Amino acid sequence: MHTTVGIIGGGPAGLLLARLLHGAGIDSVVLESRDRAYVEQRQRAGILEQATVDALRAVGAGARLDREGMPHDGIELRFGGRAHRIDFPSLTGGRSVMVYAQTEVVKDLIALQLAEGGPLLFEAEVTSIDGADTGSPVVRYRHEGREQMVTCDYVVGCDGFHGVTRNAVPDSVRTTYERTYPYSWLGVLAEAPPVYEELIYAHSERGFALASMRSPSVSRLYLQVPNGTDPGDWPDERIWDELDARFATHADPGWKLERGPVTSKAVLPMRSYVTEPMRYGRVFLAGDAAHIVPPTGAKGLNLAAADVIVLARALTRWRETGSTELLDAYSDTCLRRVWRAEHFSYFMTTTLHTDPEQSAFETRLQLSQLERVAASRHAAAELAENYTGLPLPG
Ligand code: RFL
Ligand code: PHB
């Protein structure tokens, strides 16, 4: 089998890339190691930047998003017993974000690709990529009990943090940058009406908490917990009590979330990671395969989308003109945006979480920074511009 673009991984990056290439008349094959149900149920991101929404609409995946997505014009910060709203449109010249779960994005893209796209194979695990620096790299994978292969003009690794494509880049040309954090998130889904107006990001001495949503009747909630926490140590009542304690304000000390049955809970580690370059020979890396951000800035899925938008444009130019100019610029173009998102995600994470080792001095610095965001239009605009997403290059 031969294809123009072999796409490894059927997460948001791989699926969106396949749709963008389909629209440009470029054939591709998507190889996904998990089964369809697993990929469609994996609980993850919830916030889409405008550029991500635009790309989904452009590939035909906008209908349900526009019906069920929940536009948000701001976030609320809670710290030092106060609440402060950041209004995105007034700070960014009209930008806002959309709450629409990654699970739904993935379902929409899979349905489209299966209906009118190139092959999308589930339970097709890629084992190796050979000949990255040759004119025709080969992807080897296991499918239906057999070893198979596909030769490609280009290979794109959209196989996430635990994927195999990164290994096609020799150690001698690769640099990685990494930071881990001394805390994790306990992520919870609950059959309870969310605080609907805004997402709430809370700094408290008990640790960080975040209230988000999946629908008018389903809440998505996160609590900072120590690394290695067993979700079994967090019965439902303990989760709700702790959320209420972390979200409490002086003005409304009795404020409480609406409670309901918790339907899933999982502990998620936090990491910052970048591998450079994002290309070697005819192999490209996109999304979590190339970079990870801690979720506090809501950037991971959006960065994955930005990478494949840039890459699809570059492949389209190559197909139309034979020029590899944009392909050659891909890694540098993406990395500029990646590092901005790395910094913003690090900033949001370290400003809002309480490191178990942190001194009273450092807590005062965090509160001073949050007060600055509340008091200064410039500081608030810096946060709002990064949160809603910086413009795509080009
Ligand atoms: P994915 O989604 O990990 O998909 C990679 C796919 O590759 C498959 N795969 C393979 N397939 C074939 N052969 C192999 N050898 C393979 N190895 C792996 C995997 O099965 C998988 O299907 O990466 P992608 O597409 O780059 O997408 C990235 C996003 O999933 C990720 O950045 C976001 O979920 C991060 N994130 C958030 N991002 C946001 O923009 N906004 C948010 O609000 C947000 N919240 C979050 C998040 C991530 C979280 N977790 C769980 C880390 C909240 C959480 C809790
Ligand atoms: C989510 O809704 O899952 C979500 C929202 C904002 C974040 C992270 C996750 O920063």
What share of the chain in percent tops pLDDT 70? 100
pLDDT at residue 391 above 90?
A: no
Q: Determine the 3-state secondary structure of 212 from DSSP.
A: strand
Concerning whether 72 is annotated as a catalytic residue, the answer is yes
- Report the pLDDT averaged over residues 301-327: 98
Any alpha helices (H) in the chain, and if so which ranges?
Answer: 12-23, 36-41, 50-58, 63-68, 88-92, 102-116, 236-247, 300-321, 325-352, 360-375, 377-388
| 91-118: pLDDT as tens digits | 999 999 999 999 999 999 999 999 998 9
Position 305 confidence tier, pLDDT thresholds 50, 70, 90: very high
Looking at every residue in the chain, the average pLDDT score rounds to: 97
Structure tokens belonging to residue 377: 């239009």
CB of 287 sitting under 6 A from ligand 2: no
Active-site annotation holder among 100, 141, 201, 280: 201
- Report the pLDDT averaged over residues 267-277: 97
- Report the pLDDT averaged over residues 119-126: 98
Active-site annotation holder among 181, 299, 330, 353: 299
Choice from 102, 106, 199 to test ligand 2 binding pocket (greatest atom count within 8 A of CB):
199
Position 43 confidence tier, pLDDT thresholds 50, 70, 90: confident
- Residue whose pair of structure tokens reads 């499918």 in the numeric block: 143
pLDDT at residue 196 above 80?
A: no
Ligand 1: distance of its center to the CA of 350 in Å?
A: 22
* Peptide bond preceding 277 in cis form (omega within 30 of 0): yes
| 58-88: pLDDT as tens digits | 999 999 999 999 999 999 999 999 999 999 9
What domains, with CATH codes, occur in the chain?
2-65+100-179+272-352 (3.50.50.60), 180-269+354-387 (3.30.9.10)
Position 393 confidence tier, pLDDT thresholds 50, 70, 90: confident
Concerning whether 201 is annotated as a catalytic residue, the answer is yes
Ligand 2: distance of its center to the CA of 47 in Å?
A: 6
Structure tokens belonging to residue 351: 């400003």
pLDDT at residue 142 above 80?
A: yes
Ligand closest to CA 268: 1
Ligand closest to CA 168: 1
**Ligand 1 atom nearest to CA at 187:** 55
Ligand 2: distance of its center to the CA of 222 in Å?
A: 8
Concerning whether 291 is annotated as a catalytic residue, the answer is no
Write down the pLDDT at residue 302: 97
Q: What is the tally of helices (H) and strands (E) in the chain?
A: 11, 19
Position 254 confidence tier, pLDDT thresholds 50, 70, 90: confident
What share of the chain in percent tops pLDDT 90? 96
- Report the pLDDT averaged over residues 332-340: 97
Ligand 1: distance of its center to the CA of 293 in Å?
A: 11
- Report the pLDDT averaged over residues 187-203: 94
CB of 268 sitting under 6 A from ligand 1: yes
CB of 14 sitting under 6 A from ligand 1: yes
| 357-375: pLDDT as tens digits | 999 999 999 999 999 999 9
- Report the pLDDT averaged over residues 165-188: 97
Amino acid identity of residue 179, one-letter, is R
